[in-house]
């Protein structure tokens, strides 16, 4: 049974999930229209690629899947259909070769997002996909058989479609299109949407004015970050974090951000411990710091005996009682486990991504919203989160591909998930 030639799949959102949905639906024979509120597609995708587009990750399957936490069971079948290797092969098909970095992260050889996006859009247009920019979705027109309503520069517009894929993003980086304005629209139709919360975000500490002025914008490296979760398990990550004017951010912090955010929501704060000298043992530090410093200043003593200077010395001064500097044992202990209390997440709009969204329990195995037959959902709109490192993009691509294929199958009257 061929697709109804009069029916089209409407894709709402022109980010990675939406474009992949468009590709999957078009490849399955459906006629496809993509609608986006912004003047051009893939704006957040391009911004994410400014420092080097991290497409996916090359680690083994089991640790890769563990990155998705409580939502692993829902995402695993999607990733089985379009995982890291399939994603790299797809990029190759667009003429973009990839390589695996020293950390296992996968990047385009040219490191940029723009060439890949240009090639992708060209292929989609060649395949008949039509793009409608500056179309902001405002809900359904119930009087017009549930037509989609859009606000455009030319005024209100209603569009009817045989199937719809919602891929409107989460709630971070609103200036690039992810505004979360869809939340009340779905909630009004009885769809359960978990509150959008910051993920892969920075945290507030409440620095003194002296420390903020002197060290904001400086990286702390190398540093080992330790966090004890509510079950008592210790999570350790070594690398680099960044001092901001209000607190801390960076890869090390993003990797722990979900549990830190949840702890702050539950108790009002979260405690980290920083090992400022991850290459030195405590006993050695104690011995070195116990040596007489004579007329040498404490700053010089820390630099010569412990390798602590600059922003690391500033952190000690900021967070350690003055009396502890006179005790080599307590000073060495602080260098190896400096307590840093986080008091709040940074606002959602500053976060790299968002948690929360349409609950998976609201969807069937085709990613169709049970309460809205023919409406599918993909990408960051869904209630899942993952750390940076290629995991976010991979799941967005995978869910978009599955939703687009399911939407095309829906037009053909197929009720089982596409293989």
What domains are there in the chain, each with its CATH number?
8-198+354-411 (3.50.50.60), 203-345 (no CATH)
pLDDT at res. 231: 87
Tokens of 80: 């089985």
Short-list 356, 407, 400, CA closest to 16: 400
Q: What angle do CA 167, 193, 35 make, to 5 degrees?
A: 20
| pLDDT-flagged residues of the chain (< 50) | 1-3, 5
Q: How far apart are CA 150 and CA 154, in angstroms?
A: 10
DSSP 3-state assignment of 97? coil
Q: How far apart are CA 375 and CA 12, in angstroms?
A: 11
**Phi (first) and psi of residue 160, to 5 degrees:** -105, 140
Q: How far is CA 23 from the centre of its chain?
A: 23
Short-list 9, 14, 67, 68, CA closest to 37: 14
pLDDT at res. 416: 65
Q: If 0-12 CB within 10 Å is exposed, 13-18 middle and 19+ buried, where does residue 167 land?
A: buried
DSSP 3-state assignment of 111? coil
**Per residue in 302-334, is it b (16+ CB within 10 Å) or e — as a string?**
bbebbebeebbbbbbbbbbeeebbeebebbbbb
Tokens of 249: 């951010």
Short-list 358, 393, 377, 352, CA closest to 16: 393
DSSP 3-state assignment of 334? helix
- What is the tens place of the pLDDT at every residue in 113-167? 999 999 999 999 999 999 999 999 999 997 777 899 999 999 999 999 999 999 9
Q: How far apart are CA 164 and CA 114, in angstroms?
A: 27
Q: How far is CA 343 from the centre of its chain?
A: 21
Query: What is the pTM assigned to this prediction?
Result: 0.92
Look at the chain and count its residues: 419
Element (H, E) at 225: strand 219-228
Q: How far apart are CA 211 and CA 296, in angstroms?
A: 23
Tokens of 222: 């190398």
Q: How far apart are CA 188 and CA 93, in angstroms?
A: 41
**Per residue in 395-406, is it b (16+ CB within 10 Å) or e — as a string?**
bbbbbbbbbbbb
State how far the alpha carbon of 198 is from the alpha carbons of 11, 187, 237, 267, 334, in Å. Answer: 25, 20, 21, 17, 30
Tokens of 228: 């004890």
Q: What angle do CA 192, 18, 384 make, to 5 degrees?
A: 40
Tokens of 356: 């929360």
Number of neighbours of residue 88 by Cβ within 10 angstroms: 20
Q: How far apart are CA 419 and CA 417, in angstroms?
A: 6
DSSP 3-state assignment of 94? coil
pLDDT at res. 313: 97
Q: Tell whether omega for the bond before 222 is within 30 degrees of 0, i.e. cis.
A: yes
């Amino acid at each position: 049974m061929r697709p109804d030639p009069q029916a089209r799949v409407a894709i709402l959102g022109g980010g990675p999930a939406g474009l992949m949905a468009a590709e999957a639906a078009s490849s399955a024979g459906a006629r496809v229209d993509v609608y986006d509120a912004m003047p051009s597609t893939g704006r957040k995708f391009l911004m994410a690629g400014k420092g080097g587009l991290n497409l996916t990750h090359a680690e083994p399957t089991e640790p890769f899947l563990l990155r998705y936490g409580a939502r692993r069971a829902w995402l695993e079948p999607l990733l089985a259909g379009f995982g890291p290797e399939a994603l790299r092969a797809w990029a190759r098909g667009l003429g973009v070769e990839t390589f695996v970095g020293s950390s296992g992260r996968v990047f385009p050889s040219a490191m940029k997002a723009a060439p890949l996006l240009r090639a992708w859009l060209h292929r989609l247009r060649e395949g008949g996909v039509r793009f409608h920019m500056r179309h902001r979705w405002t809900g359904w027109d119930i009087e017009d058989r549930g037509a989609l309503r859009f606000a455009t520069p030319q005024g209100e517009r209603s569009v009817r479609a045989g199937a719809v894929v919602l891929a409107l993003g989460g709630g971070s980086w609103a200036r690039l299109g992810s505004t979360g304005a869809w939340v009340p629209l779905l909630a009004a139709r009885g769809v359960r949407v978990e509150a959008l919360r910051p993920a892969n975000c920075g945290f507030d500490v409440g620095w003194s004015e002296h420390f903020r002025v002197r060290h904001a914008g400086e990286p702390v490296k190398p540093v080992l970050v330790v966090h004890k979760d509510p079950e008592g398990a210790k999570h350790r990550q070594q690398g680099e974090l960044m001092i901001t004017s209000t607190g801390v951010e960076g890869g090390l912090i993003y990797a722990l951000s979900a549990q830190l955010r949840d702890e702050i929501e539950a108790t009002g704060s979260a405690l980290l411990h920083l090992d400022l000298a991850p290459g030195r043992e405590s006993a050695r530090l104690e011995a070195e710091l116990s040596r007489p410093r004579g007329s040498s200043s404490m700053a010089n003593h820390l630099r010569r005996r412990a390798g602590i200077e600059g922003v690391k010395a500033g952190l000690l001064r900021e967070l350690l009682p003055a009396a502890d500097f006179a005790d080599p044992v307590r000073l060495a202990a602080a260098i190896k486990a400096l307590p840093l209390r986080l008091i709040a997440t940074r606002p959602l709009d500053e976060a790299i991504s968002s948690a929360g969204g349409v609950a998976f329990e609201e969807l069937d195995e085709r990613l169709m919203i049970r309460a809205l037959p023919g409406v599918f959902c993909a990408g960051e709109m869904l209630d899942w989160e993952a750390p940076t490192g290629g995991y976010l993009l991979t799941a967005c691509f995978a869910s978009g591909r599955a939703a687009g294929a399911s939407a095309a199958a829906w037009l053909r009257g197929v009720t089982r998930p596409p293989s």
